[in-house]
Structure 1
Amino acid sequence: MVGIWGFIPHHRVLEEDTILQQQQEFEHSIHKSGSESDVVESIDENTEKNDKEILISKRISSDNEKEHENENNLEVEIQDFDVDYDYVPYKFGEKTYKIREIRDEANRPWWKVFDEFEYRNTKSEAKSYKWYKWFPEGTSSAEKKLLVKLDIFLAFYSFVGYWVKYVDSANLNNAYVSGMKENLGMKGNDLINTQTVFTVGQIVFEIPWIFLLPRIPITYGLTIAELFWAAFTIGTYRVKTVSALQAIRFFVGASEAAYFPCIHFLLGSWYLPHEVGRRGALFYIGQFLGVLTSGLLQSATFKNLSGNGGLEGWRWMFIVDGGISFGVALLAFICIPGTPAKCYSLFLTDDEIRLARRRMKKNGTDVNQSTKALFDLPTWKKAFSTWHVYFLGFINILGFNSNNTSSGSFVLWLKSLKKYDTVMINNLSTVPPALGILYVLIICVGADITRKRFLFVSLSFLLNFIGNTILAVWDVSYGAKWFAFCFGYWSWSQSSVFNPLISDFFRKDTDVRAVAWMAIYIIGLQSSAWIGRLIWPTTASPRFHVGFSTCAAFSIGFAVFIGIAYFFYKNDERRESLENGIYLYNSETGDIPQFVLDHPEFVEKNRYD
């Protein structure tokens, strides 16, 4: 239902949302005051506490009744998505769990250690996933329709948005070898310093999104950021000095700050773990296509527009890129659906929004709308009280600095050969990112269809290690250098697997997920500002021995430490198996629990046959 605003995206409030929000605000008030009676008295001092409790009880009852009424209106078999289907209650301590499978771990084979979803899926759920099928077996037509809509709008926009981002980012390197260096009098480390200023702007403006991400309408927030990005990109054509270039690149970076975290937050809010890799592949193909297109556009503008209006070809490149960016900003306004909890989509029905929420609930993902304060201390304590932020943040430092492509080392090497003109250099610069598209498909789709996310992330860095090791040696043949530079995009190919994986770690609390994901991202991003400047000084071009050696070492480090993270992940998942609806016992190490004997129908026999 489009609503009174017609084609203007607006908050889609479902019938059950108002009551649910009242419940959340009430519970949060209790949490802040530490006393339910204080909150009840604050509602109305003239009403008895018992009356308030009755009122709250009625609200909860009304919410449940409305939810059941909405279930009857769904055009799907609701038991496929309802987290309450086919379970037996099991009370442990003060908490009651909904057990869907009782599993005997006797004779567990060694190779199950590589099953990432061993403690999250029942046997029947695991069997429904076939690597050669886009949708798991049993997926209803309504769910397929929902996913197709999300692919058309969210996944497609993520692709186009990232494409234009990297057109606008990579054009600096292309402009540098297309006359900008000479026109602005750039020398020494001016190029790497300008790249660093861009990153600093991005880092500084990432920080507000730690607080804003789960709370503001992403549809509007990201659209506004896109408009600023477009304006500053066009403004770059007017620069006359290096300092002016660096100043405007700071604001270009600042405008980009919202895009990457918002897209990954949205992907983690709408797609399940076995779905997000393929959509993330489309997202990251946009990046590589942007780098590829930047070279082609720079080549075309240099050839066809250079001198028009008294402007050099590289200046026209920024004008063309900025114009495209304005169109993408409009696309963002139309396509971004918000989140299932706070949906702004013009194209999803109410029932599809409910279905999306149920899908994510079944995965254990928190889909409640945040009602917490801008800075909620318990949320921050929860985010930083476990190993995840620190260990994954360290891994992200390795990942952010294991890539040689952002340095412009390839085009600088081509220029140093003095055998290609400007047009040919820009054309040849498209080869590695074109291959990067293939690498993304291999890693992201491979991680999805095999359900081996950690393994494919490690594979990408092992291959990246090979390329950077060859370049670190350097004294190899011309063909070997080409081969090594063409391996440069393996390190980025895993990003749309690794970043959703971080979201999956924190799936059970939306606010914690936003804080922790942003913290891990900023830890990695900030390191690239100073490490990049240390290892990629323009004066070391094109040899960059320190840069390539660092990338090789960090690639191996990433592969090793992500393996250690997998060990922690498996321990966490096993410890939380009850929350996932799986009761574990071992018939070989002790007596069979009474709970198992009481519910033989939930025992998965021959689990490891």
Structure 2
Amino acid sequence: MASHSGVPRQKWWKIQWFSDDDTPEEKKFITKLDLILIPYLFVTYWVKNLDQNNLNNAYVGGMKEELGFYGNELIRLQTMYIIGAVLGQIPFLFVFTYWPMHWVIPGMDVCWGVATLLQYRANSFAEMAAYRFLVGWFEAAYFPAVHYILGSWYRGHEISRRGGIWYTGLPLGTLTAGLVQAGATQRLDGVHGLSGWRWMYIICAIVTIPIGMIGYFILPGTLDKPNKFLLNDHDRLIARKRLDKKGYKLQGSLKLHHIKQIMSSKHFWIVVLVDVLFWNAGINSGAFLLWLKSLKRYDSATVNEYGTIPPAMGIFFTLFANFSSDLLWGPVWAITFASGMNTLTNLILLIWNVPEPAKWFAYCNYGWSYALSSVLHGWVNNILRDSPEIRSFTLVFINIIAQSSTAWTGILAYPTVEAPRFLNGYSFSFSMSTSLIIGAHLLNLYLKRRRDPNATQSTPTADVEGSDDGSSQGQIEEGDQSKSLQSTQIKSVS
């Protein structure tokens, strides 16, 4: 079979959904799993981002004037959410391999729905800040938990497409938040004495809480701690066999020696760096709305309606980046392409003194900055596929470090009082998006060298074998061999 970086197939140019080595029985199972898991994940991520982005829409939809937010309150509220999300992830560094995921995610979803509802009653900055912290806290585990679930059921070349469909919930949530706020402002403002932006939080909570409850029945959990409601014993047996034959480890519990092993791994810290660059490569999510408002041409409802254009385009960007990664050129070049487009966006806004259509182009293309998320995290899932303990810890840890960096970079780079031209912010995002391209290639180069037989001659335990996507996979040891650390399989995707 030819070597390539996507779905295993005889000819690299042949685009296909299933691998050549998938049996009819496996194809039937994959289809069933796709129809159960991916639509639900998509809906939950849509709701999550509907709840998360409604702050920006509420701000330009009347909250600013009603609560007297004329300073940097917006960016400070965004930061409170980030602080809650970062701190809320810390306990989950250790529990993913112990707790059933089909209980963790729905339980947190219901709680964040309640926290979303509470925001409708805020009458001060302090009160709103407390609610934003709670929303972040209860949303904390969701992102790494979903990637952990995807990596527990799918092979490496299958994750990006599923993750891409799931991740379109982000731009769709941003898009519908604008529409919900516009509708609430036009139709509900003043009803029962509540402003339109307050009604938006009530509507979001009404949607969020029931969807969270449904998750107890829909989410399949993981193979070692499955939800048996929809996937029967035969389904789980097929899933286990197809992963076993490709060397995926399916069971394990995080122990102290795993953490020591992770911290001594060089590629782990490169992954951390790349994830930090990814999280900081995009412009502030409220920048476009603030620019539109600064033009003084549109009322609040129109601003929110126009604000739906970038996330609508982001849906296409996300699908293109993730499907092309799995089906065409692999994660490294998918990251390169998406980051290149994002770099162009940042460059235009950095220059600033350009024709207005160029600014519209730039703002409408900022979705490339988040389009590659499932490509990157799917890659991490695949790199660590032989160790659920290390994989669970790594997915949470890199998210904590990367997301925590945005708590202070947002305040320093995108203070609200500098709107609409965030000179420092656009300079910062430009440097991050450029560095992300370099970082992705450095990570891939490092993994290639680690699996090179010439580079591992001194390591008796090194074993290079064919991987499930047609590239080579090497098993390497990280850290001091005298400590007998468990070797970690590394997969390079070129």
When normalised by structure 1's length, the TM-score is 0.73
Match in the other structure for 1:104: none
The 5 A counterparts of 1:190-205 are 190-205=73-88
Match in the other structure for 1:179: 62
Match in the other structure for 2:99: 216
- 2:276 maps to which of 379, 386, 397: 397
Contact 2:5 2:471 in 1 (8 A): no
Match in the other structure for 2:225: 342
Secondary structure of residue in 2 paired with 1:366: coil
- 2:187 maps to which of 304, 328, 339: 304
Matched, 1:545 2:423: yes
Tell me the CA shift for residue 362 of structure 1: 2.6
Q: Distance in 2 between matches of 1:130 and 1:152?
A: 27
Larger deviation, residues 180-189 vs 516-525: 516-525
- 1:429 maps to which of 288, 307, 323: 307
Contact 1:399 1:554 in 2 (8 A): yes
Contact 1:128 1:137 in 2 (8 A): no
Match in the other structure for 1:22: none
- 1:133 maps to which of 16, 26, 38: 16
Residues 498/127 of structure 1: CA separation in 2 closer, same or farther (3 Å cut): same
Contact 1:288 1:436 in 2 (8 A): yes
Tell me the CA shift for residue 513 of structure 1: 1.0
Q: Distance in 2 between matches of 1:542 and 1:521?
A: 29
Q: Distance in 1 between matches of 2:378 and 2:368?
A: 18
Contact 1:432 1:489 in 2 (8 A): yes
Return the letter of the residue paired with 2:435. Answer: G
Tell me the CA shift for residue 570 of structure 1: 1.6
Q: Distance in 2 between matches of 1:189 and 1:311?
A: 25
Tell me the CA shift for residue 577 of structure 1: 4.8
Q: Distance in 2 between matches of 1:244 and 1:525?
A: 23
Match in the other structure for 1:160: 43
Q: Distance in 1 between matches of 2:452 and 2:329?
A: 17
Return the letter of the residue paired with 1:311. Answer: L
Tell me the CA shift for residue 285 of structure 1: 0.6
The 5 A counterparts of 1:347-366 are 347-366=230-249
Tell me the CA shift for residue 320 of structure 1: 0.2
Tell me the CA shift for residue 182 of structure 1: 0.8
Contact 1:213 1:514 in 2 (8 A): yes
Q: Distance in 2 between matches of 1:138 and 1:388?
A: 30
Deviation per CA, 1:218-277, whole angstroms, max 9, x where unpaired? 111111101110001011001110110001100000000011011000011111121111
Contact 2:110 2:209 in 1 (8 A): yes
Deviation per CA, 1:333-382, whole angstroms, max 9, x where unpaired? 12110111211131112121011112222332210243x5xxx2211112
Contact 1:226 1:329 in 2 (8 A): yes
Tell me the CA shift for residue 579 of structure 1: 4.9
Match in the other structure for 1:151: 34
Secondary structure of residue in 2 paired with 1:481: helix
Match in the other structure for 1:465: 343
Match in the other structure for 2:394: 516
Q: Distance in 2 between matches of 1:281 and 1:394?
A: 22
Match in the other structure for 1:454: 332
Q: Distance in 1 between matches of 2:24 and 2:172?
A: 33
Match in the other structure for 2:157: 274
Q: Distance in 2 between matches of 1:223 and 1:485?
A: 34
Match in the other structure for 2:403: 525
Structure 1: 5+ residue runs without aligned partners? 1-100, 102-110, 585-609
Secondary structure of residue in 2 paired with 1:578: strand
Contact 1:227 1:326 in 2 (8 A): yes
Contact 2:116 2:204 in 1 (8 A): yes
The 5 A counterparts of 1:498-509 are 498-509=376-387
Contact 1:236 1:318 in 2 (8 A): yes
The 5 A counterparts of 1:60-75 are none
| Matched-pair identity in % | 35
Q: Distance in 1 between matches of 2:70 and 2:133?
A: 19
Secondary structure of residue in 2 paired with 1:348: coil
Deviation per CA, 1:178-231, whole angstroms, max 9, x where unpaired? 000111111211100000000000000111000011110111111110111000
Residues 583/132 of structure 1: CA separation in 2 closer, same or farther (3 Å cut): closer
Match in the other structure for 2:287: 409
Tell me the CA shift for residue 580 of structure 1: 4.5
Larger deviation, residues 479-488 vs 351-360: 351-360
Tell me the CA shift for residue 126 of structure 1: 4.8
Tell me the CA shift for residue 132 of structure 1: 2.3
Q: Distance in 2 between matches of 1:463 and 1:129?
A: 25
Tell me the CA shift for residue 451 of structure 1: 4.6
